[in-house]
Structure 1
Amino acid sequence: MSAVSDVSKHSDKSGADIVIREKSQHGDSESIVSVRHADDALLAQLGYKSQFRREFSLLETVAFAFSIMGVVASVSSTFIFPLWSGGHVGMVFGWLIPCLFVMTIAASMAELASSMPTSAGLYYFSAKLAPPKYAALASWITGWANVTGQVTLVCSIDFTCAQMITTALNVGSNGSVNLGNGPTFGILLAILFTHGIICSAGTAILARINIFYVIVNLGATIAAIVSLLVCSPPNRVSTKDAFTKFENNTGWANNGWAFLLAFTAPMWTLTGYDSAAHIAEETSGAARAAPIAILVSVAATTSLGWLLEIAASFATVSVTDLLNSDLPLPMGQLFLDVLGQKGMLALWSFIIITQYVTGAAQTVDASRVVFAFARDNALPGSRWWKQMNHYTQTPVNAVWLVVTCAGICGVLGFSETALSSLAGASVIGLYTSYATPIFLRITSGRNKLVPGHFSLGTWYLPIGIIAVSWVVFIIILLLFPGGANPSAAAMNYAVVLVMAVFIFASISWIISARKWFSGPICNVEKDVAEI
């Protein structure tokens, strides 16, 4: 790592350098200290002083990125999309195809995160890879797109968590308790409030509880897969139907187009893995841990999610019956059909916990993005949102800004297409911010990137081209409504959310930001030895 070699040149001026030298002399007992000093040196080279405690280990970083995607909870939340758009084919291949393309995006992002491990993440990458004349604008666009995606992702996760709770109440009461949009919105606000409290904790606490997140996530996912395969009724579909039976319930005349809309489910699930980059300043050995976390978490979520979709396809006797269920989430009906009331509630309770901790992890991620963007004075009221709590050493103000904005977005819960609107907005926002630095990497930034621990080598160009092309395609796709000729209530409001932020950011740039926003702001002395 270049930071280590640079520091070693100033070993007579910095205590940190001496510790790095002592690593080879004194064995493993010094390894954690030396890595943390090297991380701070590299961060200083990137232009930022260390403000967080580096409490995340490699395992905890992987756990954090994996937890944000919450496999079983995410599949349960978005099961309606493949049911509408292809039935059994939508479940199996509507999951697999997008995931293969997402791996190219994850690989490109892992390379960038390894080279530039900072909480600023994507908008920092864009600033450094863009032509100098357009660096600030590229950073501005990427940052606002990422903030939009992060906040709406928090809202969509917690909204579906609220739906899971109302589903459980309905099943537990044998249908006598059927909460509407108002109570669901109230539950959403309560979940957001508790997440605000949890995510205001210190980094050490947040790092440790991520291990618990993974245990719950993996356990619930494996239990769901086994239950659907073992306990499904004798009249479950054949292997041929499970993989090849196609049903178009969207209202769109073109079956190919209808099938493409099933991609919403895996695209929404496979978001947030950039979190490994956003907690880089809280991670030991970030240049190595961040890319590993991105790649492992995406690969694991892809594999487990596909197995769960296949199991669900086998267990689904009638797609129509699931779509006509009175429960808010069709997956709840599937578990009820397969496991009965008690079995469904037992498994569903763990899925609710999984979705709850997924929302908590995402709130942490979103708050780090807000903090980093505010640190570079890019948000209204930045002086408040970039403040660090002296006790917890975390950006508590940024946490509560995320929670508040997510609550406002939750008003969309009163529409018929709440989930598709929130999911679409989060995917469009996040993947726009993912694709921008990747596009700059394969164009103006070809010779600018200093490779980190993980590098794609010469493969960066074809992989990057595929990644950017896929994002352009998926953004266009997700702007369309789920069904043909939608009413106002059934409209896809993702475009409204995204355009509102785009218009605000554009006007802000034209009127004032272009005069004062210069991209990431260096807040350390250039001499790394001064760390």
Structure 2
Amino acid sequence: MADIKVAESHVDSEQFHSEDGEDNAFISEKEGTLADKRDMARMGKRQETRRNFKSITILGFTMVILSTWEAQLATAVFALGNGGTAGLIWGYLIVMIGFGFVVASMAEMASMAPTSGGQYHWVSEFAPRSCQRFLSYMVGWLGVLGWQTATATVTYLAGHQVQGLIKLNHPEYESKPWQGTLLIWAILALGLLFNTFFSKRLPLIEGIIVILHVAGFFAVLIPLWVMADRAPASDVFGLFADNMMWGSTPLAVMIGLVGAASCFVGIEAGAHMAEEVRDAAYVIPRSMMWTWVVNGLLGWIMAITFCFCVTDTLGVLLTPLEVPFIQVFYNTTGSVGGATGMTCLMLVIAVFASVAVMATNSRQLFAFARDKGVPFSSFFGQISPTLEIPFNAVVLTLIFVLLLSLINIGSTVAFMQVISLGVAAMLTTYIISISCVALKRIRGEPLLPSKFNLGKWGLPINIIALIFLVFFWIFAFFPSAPNPKVADMNWAVLGYGVVIIFSIVYYLLRGRHQYVGPVEYVRKGQ
């Protein structure tokens, strides 16, 4: 019985934390701190990976994986076409504030149960006993879908930047979808390399890249401030536009918010690396909150700057370079070399964001396989004894994205709907996991102890987060323009439905006989 098991784990984990602070004592690189060892024991899990990440390096990892100011530039075209510059600026701020409640809610859960499973594990521990196993199973599948499509999205955007660079330096070049697919494969190959042979150096590598992430922000921002022709402030902050002719500017602005939301989806990435972080129950929630604050502010400042530089919105949207921010860089500097240098800086960060997304993706898949949630669980739930990483899960991620990228050859528009598919899947996992915690609070049931406790503000924060998430979940399925043709439809709803149906069928035929949910292992670990 899930509720009884959670109550039991609450009592035991209280005993785990010593009052003299010795639970933070470092044991070894394998085990982490005494608190890490006790948390793993409470959750019924065996420590198989090394805890290479410390507080600074995991913060760098989570900041790079979102790369919010870079993602904002890459997705700004969607908000510009649906809401104009004012819609982009104020919409982004609304999204950032709303995600603050979401992040706080998940950070608390990440401290209660610091495991690579993330949302599906939290649902298993906090959901009502009548639906605990099924909901956890569905959230596990949607989490796998969300992170797999995130890998495809980030690698595509990085490859698309390469094509824009080539077009900038060689105007006669005509980009082909199959070339974009090959670039995706090349970036995936780099991701495989850094997630296998250089896996032990990944904290150091991502730590170096986060320095580039912050320094690069100023390297891009300062030229835009100093050199660009500026649009009037009254237009930038006050001009809302419906360039896609939805017939309603407020509706267009709301649809444009999905682009900003995609910059924050995946912010719980650090939680999926929890079993490789020292003192994870303390470090992970704080890295999530700092990532939200720092990346969020950098993204908003960049959004405002970008909008001041867009003096000709239609010209930027229809740029022959096919990448609007590269056109803005070129307009600003008046130099191919200058625009190339600024774009190359973003490209390096994008490539290593792909590496980080692949790492997070493989850990989430490994955790779900470890709990027998996917076919061939015993194979994908293994840790390589030599590399000490979930190697089989990394390879499956590579193969899945390789196959998914073939869609780009047939239709780039259809492939871009993968972004909406991933956003919808991840938002669903957030909604269900936060709902479970909110329900326990409403019922007055005890929660697990947390080193990031929301206290009396927990329920209001959870409810605001849910209202915000449901709103965006609906708009994630909208097409990018009204009255779309078949090729321009948002087929994310189809992919979402297929995964839901497949997971339900698999659950009924096989999953319910194998998958019991992490809460069972919690009980056995006590």
- TM-score in terms of structure 1 length: 0.91
Q: 1:344 to 1:128 in 2, by over 3 A?
A: same
- Within 5 A, what are the aligned runs for 1:271-282? 271-282=265-276
Give, in whole Å, the separation in 1 of the partners of 2:414 and 2:158.
13
Cα drift, residue 34 of structure 1: 8.9
1:51-90 map, 5 Å: 51-90=48-87
* Matching of residue 304 in structure 1 with residue 298 in structure 2: yes
Aligned length: 513
Distance 2:231 2:322 in 1: 24
Unaligned runs of 5+ in 2: 1-9
Question: Is 1:356 paired with 2:351?
Answer: yes
> 1:219 maps to what in 2?
215
**Are the equivalent residues in 2 in contact too, given 1:19–1:34 (CA < 8 A)?**
no
1:422 aligns with 2:422: no
Partner of 2:145: 148
The change in CA–CA distance for 1:351 and 1:512 in structure 2 (over 3 A counts) is same
Picking from 178, 184, 187, the partner of 1:188 is 184
Tell me the residue number matched to 2:123: 126
**Aligned-partner Cα distance in 2 for 1:201–1:524:** 33
Amino acid at match of 2:363: R
Q: Is the 8 A contact 1:19 1:30 kept in 2?
A: no
Q: Deviation at 1:216?
A: 1.7
Distance 1:218 1:90 in 2: 26
Distance verdict in 2 for CA 1:22–1:61, change over 3 Å: closer
Aligned counterpart in structure 2 of residue 396 of structure 1, from 375, 391, 398:
391
2:343 partner letter? W
Q: 1:76 deviation in Å?
A: 2.4
Q: 1:136 & 1:253 partners in 2: Cα distance?
A: 44
Distance 1:22 1:117, change over 3 A: closer
Instruction: Give CA deviations for 1:80-139 in whole Å, capped at 9, x if unaligned.
Output: 111101221122112111111111100000000011101111101001111112111111
| 2:311 is the alignment partner of 1:320 | no
Structure 1 gap segments, 5+ residues each = 10-16, 24-28
- 1:59 and 1:253 mapped to 2: Cα distance? 48
State percent identity of aligned pairs.
26
Note the C-alpha offset of 1:412. Answer: 3.4
SS in structure 1 of the partner of residue 511 of structure 2: helix
- Alignment deviations for residues 334-357 of structure 1 (CA, whole Å, 9 cap, x no partner): 111111211100010010011111
**Equivalent of 1:443 in 439, 444, 452:** 439
Displacement after TM superposition at 1:33 (Å):
9.2
How far is the alpha carbon of 1:510 from its aligned partner?
2.6
Task: For 1:373 and 1:107, locate their aligned partners in 2 and report how far apart those are by CA, in whole Å.
Answer: 24
Partner of 1:487: 485
Please tell me the root mean square deviation across aligned C-alpha atoms, in Å.
Answer: 2.4
1:358 Cα deviation after fit? 0.7
Q: What is the match of residue 3 of structure 2?
A: none
In 2, Cα distance between equivalents of 1:202 and 1:348: 26
Greater displacement, 217-226 / 31-40 = 31-40
Residue aligned with 1:199, SS:
helix
TM-fit CA distance, 1:415: 2.3
Q: Which amino acid aligns with 2:279?
A: G
Change over 3 Å in CA distance of 1:22–1:216 after alignment to 2: closer
Shift in CA distance, 458/71, structure 1 to aligned 2, threshold 3 Å: same
> What is the deviation of 1:5?
6.6
- Aligned pairs for 1:83-482 (under 5 A) are 83-173=80-170, 175-201=171-197, 203-233=199-229, 236-339=230-333, 340-413=335-408, 414-418=410-414, 420-444=416-440, 447-482=445-480
SS in 2 for 1:247: coil
8 Å contact 1:161–1:356 — kept in the other structure? yes
2:15 matched to 1:6? yes
- Compute the displacement of 1:197 (Å): 1.9
Whole-Å Cα distance in 1 between the matches of residues 254 and 20 of structure 2?
57
For structure 1, which segment, 38-47 or 389-398, has the greater mean C-alpha deviation from structure 2 after superposition?
Answer: 38-47
Query: Which shows bigger deviation, 409-418 or 127-136?
Result: 409-418
Shift of 1:269: 1.0
Return 503-512 or 59-68, whichever deviates more: 503-512
The change in CA–CA distance for 1:516 and 1:385 in structure 2 (over 3 A counts) is closer
Aligned partner of 1:12 in structure 2 is: none
1:393–1:523 CA distance, 2 compared to 1 (3 A) = farther
The code of the aligned residue for 1:472 comes to V
Deviations 1:271-300 (A, max 9, x none): 222111111111101001110011110111
8 Å CA contact 2:43–2:525 kept in 1: the answer is: no
Letter in 2 for 1:257: L
Q: Is the 8 A contact 1:172 1:341 kept in 2?
A: yes
Q: How much does 1:444 deviate?
A: 3.8
Q: Residue type matched to 1:362 in 2?
A: V
User: Deviation per CA, 1:214-244, whole angstroms, max 9, x where unpaired?
Assistant: 01211222222222111102xx211111111
Which AA in structure 1 matches 2:15? D
- Rounded to whole Å, the distance in 1 between the matches of 2:374 and 2:431 is 22
Letter in 2 for 1:123: Y
